[in-house]
Chain A
Amino acid sequence: MTSVHPRALDFPQPFLDGVIPDEAELTAGERVEAGKSYGFFTDTTLCIGCKACEVACKEWNNLPADKDRMTGDSYDNTGALSAHTWRHVAFIERIGRRGGDSTTMPPYQSNWLMMSDVCKHCHNAPCLEACPTGAIFRTEFDTVVVQTDICNGCGYCVPACPFGVVEVSDQDGKAHKCTLCYDRLKGGLEPACAKACPTDSIQFGELSGLVTRAQTRVFELHAQGQPAAYLYGAPETPGATGGLDWLNCFFLLTERPEVYNLPAAPSRAANRVRPALAAGLATAGLLTLAAAALMRGGRA
């Protein structure tokens, strides 16, 4: 048994002449509408590490492959999110000497963690706040997108990002990151990674519904004997700290955030503008006064 949307019955043929209107409704149970907030809920307990999201993303967004050596870090040969990799599946082996015995593991992923990482589309996005050209903007779907025709490759968004997501490509000199498939959303389609995910580890949807779904899932897992499950990036949870408010793309994790290469309490880079400027101005003012005094004294 699997969930079938009633509208699926309207398309009883294997070949369609065009896109199904509001296709996301069939694949994600959700109509995509401008003015609402969208994001991903990535449930790591459902991730089987198949990397279909990585491939679907590269195929849809026409991103180049740029790795030809294995890393030796479990099955992760992608390493990190980058200008050319907008979905990255992390593999964490905690079996044997590092974790417990594989035969006595608790239910769900625990001895080999897998997690599909992605741009968090922060509510207060440091990359957007850092961008001096306005190339990075907030879309009508409340997602954060780089307009490459405006970006001049200043690279300030790169260190601004608290999650190491955005990067400037050495191929075109522009910053790139996940767009939450802006083009697909405009066409009423579910983002490519979420649609490709065979186990619904990546769930796409309108934010408030997504958060409710995620909370339900956490309680379900607790009831099923997985007390370690928690949300990261949803409102009022780890990851949604330091003025970021919340992350439109949030996660269900079962280990400390650092294990997945995520900061426990990231913060908004722009928080630091005011203190730095204030202290700088005070110092400059102080030295100006001192200089004035010295110069006057010199005349005397």
Chain B
Amino acid sequence: MPQWDLANADCIVVMGSNMAENHPIAFRFVMQAKTRGATLIHGDPRFTRTSAMADIYAPVRAGSDIAFLGGLIRHVLENDLWFREFAMSFTNLSTIIHEGYRDPEDLDGHFSGWDEDEQTYLADTWQYEGQHVPSSLAEHHVLTTESFAEEVRDMSEGPPPNDPSLQHPRCVYQILRRHYARYTPDMVERVTGCPRDVFAKVADALCRNSGRERTTGFCYAVGWTHHSTGVQIIRAAAILQALLGNVGRPGGGILALRGHTSIQGSTDIPTLYDMLPGYLPQPHAFKPHATLKDYLATEQSPTGWWFSFPDYAVSLLKAWYGAAADEAGDFGYSWIPKMVGDHSQLPMTMAMADGVLRGLVVLGQNPVIGGSNSRLVQEGLGRLEWLVVRDFTETETASFWYAGDPVRNGGLQPADIATEVFLMPASITGEKAGSFTNTHRLVQWHEQVVDSPGDSRSETWFVYHLGRRLKELYAGSDRARDQPIQALTWDYPVEARRQEPDAEAVLKEINGYRVADGALLSSFKDTRADGSTACGCWIYSGVFPREGFNKARERRPDGPDGPGMHLGWAFAWPNNRRILGNRASADPDGRPWSERKRLMWWEPAEGRWVGADEIDFEETKAPDYRPDWSGNVKGMEAIGGHEPFIMIADGRAALFAPSGLEDGPLPTHYEPFESPIHNPLYKAQSNPAAKLWPRLDNTYHDEADPRFPHVLTTYRLTEHHSGGSPTRSVPVTAELQPEGFAEIPSELAQRLGIRSLDWVVLSTLRGEVQTRALVTDRLRPFRVDGRVVHQIGMPWHFGWEGYATGDIANVLTSIVADPNTSMHENKALTCALRKGRLKEVRR
């Protein structure tokens, strides 16, 4: 959903985000909604600047969000407050699940399919009865036993089995009710520490502001993702929103508040190891991905929009390898590196420390500050042969070898560190042209305003010329392993003065073109799997639909009386659609749910969907279209006119997710991997499938370890930007929060004799930091499961460089991750606190 659409919401729930502080511009629209009478709810472990603006503040202990959201799901189901017409048609609520399915309620915290030896799940019993369901995520291939797919039907062979009466004990509705039966208000209070009456207020506001006439929006950010259960927390919100009918409608939805200016762009055209541009899966050495044919067959979804997957994959190969990519040579598929496991930042940190990884290029990142277990990161950097850091100022990552923790506090001398560090000056935004993709998938172009000083150059310049030199270096090679570089198209025009590549040429390649004549594609519908089209990222197709028209440069807002979707303002992928799933803004018959929440509707006279937005559906598919299941129905033909979510194989929101998740089809409360209490709900303490890397330099605290009695949560401040380099190095922003600190609840501070500005030491088994205390009543002790738990907060922006300095919070964190995303868990861990300073070894 667009941020500005929040202004249309009647209720906004911000959880897992300190939106006012970290997304102040988007928060503008929250305030607009508020001035029009909307209710703002903030659920958070800390009382933040967002809480200060909220009508209801719900204190939720760090890492207990699923218990809270599960409680809301139960409230909605048990009190029959769900939006029946919406959920019956638009979700898989009535679908029947495999008979072997067992719930954590039955298995004390595990789902069926748990493999104790491999510590992973097999998803056989999570499938629809008699069917296997491909995931809508990048990895469509289902993780079941190998023979499973042969025993059951695929999605094109018939409709999913369902029971519209919702009486079948294995229909999703009944499973959900059983699964959340114990998430009562009492249990919510016991687990999360949120008082029952506050929870009741939240539940009431949420349900009162959902339905035909009203919509509620959810906003979250890394307060949900940085957990070992991060994906499942978001899933819980999605279940709630789908049940309440708040998806695809104005003022509804779930807004993932993404950081920086282009974090969304960096997953669309990913810097992630397991995805190719446009959310195509990265080929895997241990999966049936050996040839292009295998890869396409495995990953193509038989039904739904992902049936077009081959068009996008082949067009991508054509964009990368141009003329060298021909059908005979699998379009160069074999040149794409295959992954063999988790190559995300966390295991790569350990690979550095173990001498496996020998060189590292760091672009726009400061892993010494932002990486979990910073001391391990720094030790890893110290074992590299070479390190390239590109930034506009010297970052901690560039200066670790003479100013880092291992050098200051023991162990190492600069002379002991053999890493050759290259610090290369980088241009900043106004010094280069390019695009940002914001949290609303809006691709916005920006122009160069001034030349960057000295030798600093854009990342495009760096990557382009590095590639050019590599191509020159390998030009004469006849070794097979050099072919990927030789075959790569690398023909971007450069400007004469500074040899900067033309960023618009890159955008055109991303948009895609017809190979024969170079004509730009107007949308991803033009892509073909036969090699006749090239497209660098299918979802961006249409951003440069014709020569001379860069849609991302457009700045045409709707006027004062316009529909307010601002279709003339830049380009939102896919196909300039502003609200995803907006078919759901009309009822199953295609009529708006209400006048007040009108967005898209079926116009029978015109035979198409019309409204303020671009329809996120087949434009001419009538609401009464039903697949003809007498034959094999492929692709979009299998999606009925009343099934709005086209990226999902059955077109329906997956309340129960049969595939795509590593840790279960339903969100379940597990304690954070480090927690001061035992899981009050299940014997399984923490997410069984969480990724762990136990080793001497990455040790974990035991469950309820008395040495580390407090909960620690790390976070950001308005005043600083992530790793802090852009703000700590600028005086006028540095002075706003000039020193690192930890926020300590008054009660705990009083007990330990700590006053504001005192020095305190926070410690975990990973390391210790000293920092200033900021004693505040905004952090309150939680009464959880019968005992008082104190939470301490520490912003993680600080380091030793720049004008605003402080110890690095990530020295305290460990490397432990969500199984689906390899996202670290830095929002909830345990620690010890004492007054005083560290004994300094040498400084």
**Which A residues lie at the B interface, using CB under 8 A?**
1-6, 8-9, 11-15, 46, 48-52, 54-55, 58-59, 63-70, 72-75, 77-78, 93, 95-98, 102-103, 105, 107-109, 111-114, 198-200, 220, 224
Measured CB to CB, the closest approach of chain A to B548, in angstroms, equals: 13
Closest to A112 in B: B52
Known contacts A52-B24, A95-B778, A102-B47; 11 further A-B pairs (Cβ under 8 A): A5-B560, A48-B31, A48-B718, A66-B735, A68-B803, A95-B777, A96-B780, A111-B47, A111-B52, A114-B49, A199-B24
A-B contact pairs, 7 of them (CB 8 A): A4-B559, A48-B718, A49-B49, A72-B757, A77-B736, A95-B778, A102-B51
Binding stretch for chain A, among B288-296, B439-447, B515-523, B586-594? B439-447
- With an 8 Å Cβ cutoff, the count of chain B residues facing the other chain is 69
Complex Cα gap A1–B5 (Å): 6
Closest to B554 in A: A12
- For A51, give its contact among B27, B568, B718, B774 (CB under 8 Å): B718
B564 surroundings in chain A (CB, below 8 A): 1-2
A70 surroundings in chain B (CB, below 8 A): 737-739, 741, 757, 772, 774
- For A220, give its contact among B5, B35, B51, B556 (CB under 8 Å): B35
**Interface 1/0 per residue, B422-457 and A, CB below 8 Å:** 000000000000000000000011110100000000
A220 surroundings in chain B (CB, below 8 A): 35
Complex Cα gap A220–B556 (Å): 33
**Which B residues lie at the A interface, using CB under 8 A?**
4-5, 7-8, 20-21, 24-25, 27-29, 31-32, 35, 37, 47, 49-53, 55-59, 194-195, 198, 444-447, 449, 553-560, 562, 564, 568, 717-719, 731-739, 741, 746, 756-757, 772, 774, 776-778, 780, 803-804
By the criterion CB–CB under 8 Å, are A74 and B49 in contact? no
Q: Known contacts A9-B557, A70-B739, A102-B57: does B777 contact A96 (CB below 8 Å)?
A: yes
A15 surroundings in chain B (CB, below 8 A): 446-447, 449
Q: Known contacts A14-B447, A48-B24: does B52 contact A114 (CB below 8 Å)?
A: yes
B47 surroundings in chain A (CB, below 8 A): 95, 102, 111-112
Complex Cα gap A198–B53 (Å): 14
By the criterion CB–CB under 8 Å, are B568 and A12 in contact? yes
Q: Known contacts A9-B557, A12-B555, A13-B553: does B746 contact A96 (CB below 8 Å)?
A: yes
Q: Known contacts A65-B734, A68-B738, A199-B31: does B780 contact A102 (CB below 8 Å)?
A: yes
By the criterion CB–CB under 8 Å, are A93 and B776 in contact? yes
- For A9, give its contact among B556, B738, B772 (CB under 8 Å): B556
By the criterion CB–CB under 8 Å, are B49 and A67 in contact? no
Measured CB to CB, the closest approach of chain B to A29, in angstroms, equals: 10
Closest to A63 in B: B732
User: Main SS of the interface on chain B?
Assistant: mixed
Q: Known contacts A49-B718, A65-B803, A198-B24: does B49 contact A102 (CB below 8 Å)?
A: no
Complex Cα gap A224–B37 (Å): 8
By the criterion CB–CB under 8 Å, are B53 and A108 in contact? yes
By the criterion CB–CB under 8 Å, are B803 and A4 in contact? no
- For A1, give its contact among B8, B738, B741 (CB under 8 Å): B8
Measured CB to CB, the closest approach of chain B to A105, in angstroms, equals: 7
By the criterion CB–CB under 8 Å, are A103 and B59 in contact? yes
Measured CB to CB, the closest approach of chain B to A30, in angstroms, equals: 15
Complex Cα gap A66–B560 (Å): 43
By the criterion CB–CB under 8 Å, are A64 and B731 in contact? yes
B733 surroundings in chain A (CB, below 8 A): 55
By the criterion CB–CB under 8 Å, are A4 and B195 in contact? no
By the criterion CB–CB under 8 Å, are A78 and B777 in contact? no
By the criterion CB–CB under 8 Å, are B560 and A200 in contact? no
Measured CB to CB, the closest approach of chain B to A33, in angstroms, equals: 22
Closest to A223 in B: B37
B555 surroundings in chain A (CB, below 8 A): 11-14
Complex Cα gap A3–B31 (Å): 13
By the criterion CB–CB under 8 Å, are A77 and B735 in contact? yes
Complex Cα gap A11–B559 (Å): 12
Q: Known contacts A4-B559, A93-B776, A95-B778: does B28 contact A14 (CB below 8 Å)?
A: no
Complex Cα gap A220–B757 (Å): 40
Q: Known contacts A1-B8, A14-B553: does B53 contact A48 (CB below 8 Å)?
A: yes
Q: Known contacts A96-B780, A109-B52: does B445 contact A14 (CB below 8 Å)?
A: yes
By the criterion CB–CB under 8 Å, are B557 and A8 in contact? yes
Complex Cα gap A107–B53 (Å): 8
Complex Cα gap A78–B731 (Å): 13
Closest to A220 in B: B35
B557 surroundings in chain A (CB, below 8 A): 4, 8-9
- For A109, give its contact among B53, B560, B777 (CB under 8 Å): B53
B568 surroundings in chain A (CB, below 8 A): 12
A58 surroundings in chain B (CB, below 8 A): 732
B194 surroundings in chain A (CB, below 8 A): 103
- For B560, give its contact among A4, A46, A65, A113 (CB under 8 Å): A4
By the criterion CB–CB under 8 Å, are B562 and A4 in contact? yes
B719 surroundings in chain A (CB, below 8 A): 51, 75
By the criterion CB–CB under 8 Å, are B718 and A50 in contact? yes
A46 surroundings in chain B (CB, below 8 A): 31, 35
Q: Known contacts A12-B555, A65-B803, A112-B51: does B20 contact A48 (CB below 8 Å)?
A: yes
Measured CB to CB, the closest approach of chain A to B44, in angstroms, equals: 10
Closest to A73 in B: B756
